[in-house]
Amino acid sequence: MINKKYIILIGISLSLFFINLVSSQSIIGVSPGELYYKDVLRGGYAEKSVLVIANSEEPVDIEIEGLGAMKSWFNYTKKFTLDDGKNFQLVISVSPPPDIPNGNYTGFVRVNTISRDKYLEKGMPWEL
């Protein structure tokens, strides 16, 4: 009978532990999810902004990473911290090189959340 009580107690303890892990994770949102820059001239400049929002009990460190052939064209704030319920207006500008041929180009910006004790990655592609 005692063994059964210990098994039940261990099961309840593990359940509470896992519930606590799930509730402490960060949730971020990015709006809009896609940006389109149209008719940008070679050697030109264009910018748009997105809103980054976090839902977390603790401050969340955010890191932005450009990917693809256009990553060197992007300009943005690379790292910032969000508090629960706060938002950050992230301005993303694009500056194509002056010698690039005319055409349509695609690039991506990934939004990464960095927890204080582990790294959680949330990818968000944007077509430009």
Q: Report pLDDT digits (tens) over 54-81.
A: 887 788 889 999 988 888 999 999 999 9
**Residues 23-56: tens digit of each pLDDT:** 456 678 899 988 888 889 999 999 999 999 888 7
pTM above 0.75, yes or no: no
Task: Decide: residue 82, CB within 10 A, 0-12 exposed, 13-18 middle, 19+ buried.
Answer: buried
Is 20 part of any domain?
no
Distance between CA atoms of residues 89 and 57, nearest Å: 20
76 lies in which domain range?
Answer: 26-122
H-assigned helices in the chain: 2-23
The count of structural domains within the chain is 1
CATH number, domain of 53, equals 2.60.40.10
Tell me the C-alpha distance between 46 and 38, whole Å.
Answer: 9
